[in-house]
Structure 1
Amino acid sequence: MNTVLDQATRSGAWADMRAATARPRRRRLLVLSGLALALVAAFAVRVLLGDYTFTVPDFFRILFGEQMPVSTFILMESKLPRAVLAVLVGVALGSAGSLFQMLLRNPLASPDIVGVSLGASAAGIFAILTLDLRDGAVSAFAVLGAVVIAALVRWVAGTTGGYRLVLVGVGVAAAMVSVIQYLLARSNTYDVQLALRWLVGSVNNVPWQTIGLLALVLAVLLPLLAVLSRALPALEMGDDAAAGLGVGRHRTDVLLLVGVLLTAVAVAAAGPVAFVAFMAGPIARAFMGGRHSLLAGALVGAILMLLADYTAAYLIPGVVLPVGIVTGAVGGPFLLWLLARGAATGRTG
């Protein structure tokens, strides 16, 4: 009789455990499905609506090669490239920001805050204003600048934790701002205007070749991130716990390098679009019930970019704002809210 009761108890315990693990999985699937649908809707709004609207049949006819006067040019040379670039940049920044926050266990540890984006910006501005470079050469300098600054921040911060890295990153970011201001102050007006258009962050007037190159790089980096991210649950518990589970500290550095490269190629294509990487992680985590998710962060980043670009294009009639102005205007208060919320709840990470 006792044996039968024990077996029933164990069966009930296993059923409860399976139910407990199934609930987060269902929530994750529902949230990711909802974010994917929201991304499709935001993409459709950005491409089909606005000052020049398209019907869905006309969109697909033009997409598959039919020529329509004016409509083909507006769709293929203005609306569609901006929307595609916004998605790619948003995915790169959203996944990079979520990765930084997961690895360093700090909601402030995004590429915007720790100096990676500003390192890429300073290198790009140096290439434009000092070396008189353009297009691909500027992008290469931006990638190099992001990697160098990330390595510097990591070296100075050491292995003592996420908060030291954030503090070092904030200091290095301030130094990069000074470098950018110096370069702008010593240059002529025309070059400064050119640099400022790149520095604010924009998805306007980016050629299809650049978009294709970004897509190709992301096709390499994102699957690599998906493979390496299998170690994230162990790394989130800390270096000592991860080492006990057989995950070496070098895995953190490799993942951070992938995050830096994702940020760098996004900045190289569209300039340093402010706060998208920073906002995507906390918003995705809120949708996921407090759980981290790189995929949710990537989807949220893409949605934020599309909505911000649509707002930038049509907020002021007759004026097309760079998308970085909108994300900066929203991201600044979001940062203050996150800091105030952390202080109010007593959380430090």
Structure 2
Amino acid sequence: MKLSWLILVVILIAVGIVSMLVGVTQLSLLQVVDTLFHGGDYDFVVNQYRFPRLLLAIGVGAGLGVSGALVQGVIRNPLASPDLIGVSAGAGFAATLLLTIYPDAPIWYLPLAAIFGGVSVGLALVIIAQAVKLPPARMALTGIAISAFLASGIDFLLVVHPIEINTAMIWLTGSLWGRGWEQLPYIWLGLAILLPIALWYAWRLDIIGLGDESAIALGVQLEKVQIAAILSAVMLASLSVSIAGTISFVGLLAPHLARMLFGHNHKALAIGSALIGGLLVLIADAIARGISPPIELPAGVLTSVIGAPYFIFLLKRHKGW
């Protein structure tokens, strides 16, 4: 277990170092270190562009990873994740609406709009599930239907407002292009507040995994824990989406990979999902910048290339869900 933690942290640091070197301007490690501490000719590239982007990639990935772990813990469905249950689509729709109707909005409007959209979809999903007595394992399918509906709404906004389509499309495909120090406080403040909440409810989610009746018999306030965990997951996913757009499948992949390494204990799972989610987004962003400079691919495209086949594998593996 300890070796797995150490290896994961070392890989994250190594990928972070590599991400500082690649891009239109190829730099050596010595140049990067010197610029970080003393400035110089590459001050903008290193200190104003790549370093904040590195921190944002880790923060966004961590937010999506923890969100996915919480959603899977509450719904008890291995196919559940923020993007598959519609939360990311809700945040994306609200943010796209803001970008197209009010393109000059202050930067702090975007996280608020994304949180509002994500929370609205989360509440709608809970209401629908309670109204039709939907089992937790089937909520993922309802979320996919909501995502499809909101995706059509996003397409409508882009058609009606073609002038703002470029900004919206870059954001919707999932990219950290143009992001910097201004966005950094939002995601890391969100993690500082919501990750301890996830860890606080971790043992309760472990008990919920035994079944609702067992959890209630052991004194867990089931509804309270589920609402708190889902709201935390929704806000983490919404904050991540507001900064980097809809980076797909990180919330699905990170908890599964963390579960392979650290087991089903939700405290270890939350931290492991944060590290692996950060690593996935960091790798995707580094490849996006370094594969064919000066052309930059959206990081969300690269995560989808990995995540979509894995999702198909999960569908085949869990036919009974």
Query: What TM-score, normalized to structure 1?
Result: 0.85
Corresponding position of 1:24 = none
Which shifted more, 230-239 or 85-94?
230-239
1:40 aligns with 2:16: no
Corresponding position of 2:110 = 138
Which amino acid counterpart does residue 171 of structure 2 have in structure 1? W
Corresponding position of 2:218 = 245
Corresponding position of 1:16 = none
Whether the aligned pair in 1 keeps the contact of 2:174 and 2:246 (CA below 8 Å) is: yes
1:270 aligns with 2:241: no
Which amino acid counterpart does residue 241 of structure 1 have in structure 2? S
Corresponding position of 1:337 = 313
1:95 aligns with 2:71: no
Whether the aligned pair in 1 keeps the contact of 2:81 and 2:251 (CA below 8 Å) is: yes
Corresponding position of 1:81 = 52
Which amino acid counterpart does residue 303 of structure 1 have in structure 2? L
RMSD: 1.9
- For 1:283 and 1:341, the matched residues in 2 are separated by 16
1:296 aligns with 2:272: yes
- For 1:177 and 1:240, the matched residues in 2 are separated by 37
Corresponding position of 1:4 = none
Whether the aligned pair in 2 keeps the contact of 1:87 and 1:306 (CA below 8 Å) is: yes
Which amino acid counterpart does residue 289 of structure 2 have in structure 1? A
Corresponding position of 1:198 = 171
Aligned 1:181-196 pairs, distance under 5 A: 181-188=155-162, 190-196=163-169
Whether the aligned pair in 2 keeps the contact of 1:235 and 1:252 (CA below 8 Å) is: no
Corresponding position of 1:125 = 96
Corresponding position of 2:232 = 258
1:230 aligns with 2:203: yes
Whether the aligned pair in 1 keeps the contact of 2:95 and 2:114 (CA below 8 Å) is: yes
- For 2:250 and 2:273, the matched residues in 1 are separated by 10
- 1:98-135 alpha-carbon deviations (Å, 9 max, x no partner): 12112211111100100000000010111122344533
Question: Offset at 1:60?
Answer: 3.7
Query: What TM-score, normalized to structure 2?
Result: 0.92
- 1:182-217 alpha-carbon deviations (Å, 9 max, x no partner): 1112112x2111111111111121130211232122
| Greater RCO, 1 or 2 (C-alpha within 8 Å, sep 6+) | 2
Indicate the SS of the match to 1:208.
Answer: coil
1:148 to 82, 106, 120: 120
Whether the aligned pair in 1 keeps the contact of 2:23 and 2:293 (CA below 8 Å) is: no
Q: Is there any run of 5+ residues in structure 2 with no aligned partner, and where?
A: none
Indicate the SS of the match to 2:4.
Answer: helix
Whether the aligned pair in 2 keeps the contact of 1:95 and 1:297 (CA below 8 Å) is: yes
- For 1:289 and 1:263, the matched residues in 2 are separated by 23
- Give the number of equivalent residue pairs: 315
Which amino acid counterpart does residue 264 of structure 1 have in structure 2? S
Question: Offset at 1:305?
Answer: 0.6
Percent identity for Structure 1 against Structure 2: 31
- For 1:308 and 1:132, the matched residues in 2 are separated by 27
Question: Offset at 1:30?
Answer: 2.3
Corresponding position of 2:292 = 316
Question: Offset at 1:225?
Answer: 1.7
Higher Cα radius of gyration: 1
Whether the aligned pair in 1 keeps the contact of 2:58 and 2:278 (CA below 8 Å) is: yes
- For 1:145 and 1:133, the matched residues in 2 are separated by 19
